[in-house]
Structure 1
Amino acid sequence: MSRVYLLPVTVFLLFQITFICTYIAAILEGHVVPAVPYISDAATYSPESCVFGQLINLGSVLLGLTIYVRYRQVLELFGYHPDLGEQLLKLNKISVWFGIASCVGISFVANFQETNVRIVHFFGAFCCFGFGTLYFWMQSLISYILQPIAGTKLKAHLRIAMSVACTVLFVLLAVTGVISHILFKGTDPRKWYPSDGGWHYHVASSISEWIVATIFSFYILSFTDEFRDVHLGHPQMTLLPYSITI
Structure 2
Amino acid sequence: MSLEGLHALPLACFALFPATFLLTYIWAVLLEHVEPDFPYISDAATYSPESCVFGQLINIGCVLLGVTMYIRHRQILELRCVYPLASSIKRLNDLSLWFGAFSCLGLSMVANFQETNVKYVHYTGAFMCFGLGTVYFWIQALVSHALQPVLRNLNVVYLRIALSVICTIFFVILLTTGIISHVYYHGKNPRKWYPNDGGWHFHVASTASEWVVAIAFCVYILSFTEDFRNLSLDHPKICLLQETVLIVPNEEVENETASGVESEDVLVIAK
Give the number of the structure whose alpha-carbon radius of gyration is greater.
Answer: 2
Deviations 1:74-123 (A, max 9, x none): 01001111x21111011101111000010000000001111111100000
**1:239, distance to aligned residue in structure 2 (A):** 2.8
Deviations 1:42-78 (A, max 9, x none): 0001110000000001101110000000000001001
Contact 1:106 1:125 in 2 (8 A): yes
| Pairs within 5 Å for 1:114-193 | 114-150=115-151, 152-193=153-194
Does residue 52 of structure 2 align to residue 50 of structure 1? yes
For residue 149 of structure 1, give the secondary structure of its aligned residue in structure 2.
helix
Consecutive unaligned residues in structure 1, runs of 5 or more = none
Counterpart Cα distance in 2 of 1:38 and 1:52: 13
- Give the structure 2 partner of residue 231 of structure 1: 232
| Pairs within 5 Å for 1:96-107 | 96-107=97-108
For residue 97 of structure 2, give the secondary structure of its aligned residue in structure 1.
helix
Counterpart Cα distance in 1 of 2:15 and 2:114: 23
Counterpart Cα distance in 2 of 1:151 and 1:195: 54
What amino acid maps onto 2:212 in structure 1?
A: I
Structure 2 residue corresponding to 1:70, chosen from 66, 69, 72: 72
- Give the structure 2 partner of residue 94 of structure 1: 95
Structure 1 residue corresponding to 2:16, chosen from 1, 9, 14: 14
**1:189, distance to aligned residue in structure 2 (A):** 1.2
Contact 1:151 1:226 in 2 (8 A): no
With structure 1 as the length reference, what TM-score do the two structures score? Answer: 0.97
For residue 163 of structure 2, give the secondary structure of its aligned residue in structure 1.
helix
What amino acid maps onto 2:57 in structure 1?
A: L
**1:151, distance to aligned residue in structure 2 (A):** 5.3
**1:245, distance to aligned residue in structure 2 (A):** 4.4
For residue 35 of structure 2, give the secondary structure of its aligned residue in structure 1.
coil
Counterpart Cα distance in 1 of 2:202 and 2:113: 23
Q: 1:198 to 1:226 in 2, by over 3 A?
A: same
- How many residue pairs match? The answer is 245
Q: 1:230 to 1:151 in 2, by over 3 A?
A: farther
Backbone CA RMSD of aligned residues: 1.1
What amino acid maps onto 2:18 in structure 1?
A: Q
Q: 1:92 to 1:188 in 2, by over 3 A?
A: same
Contact 1:143 1:151 in 2 (8 A): no
Counterpart Cα distance in 2 of 1:185 and 1:168: 28
What amino acid maps onto 2:64 in structure 1?
A: L
Deviates more, 1:45-54 or 1:144-153: 144-153
What amino acid maps onto 2:93 in structure 1?
A: N
Q: Which has the higher contact order (CA 8 A, sep 6+)?
A: 1
The percentage of counterpart residues that share the same residue type is 57
- Give the structure 2 partner of residue 242 of structure 1: 243
**1:184, distance to aligned residue in structure 2 (A):** 2.1
Counterpart Cα distance in 1 of 2:86 and 2:77: 12
Contact 1:8 1:63 in 2 (8 A): yes
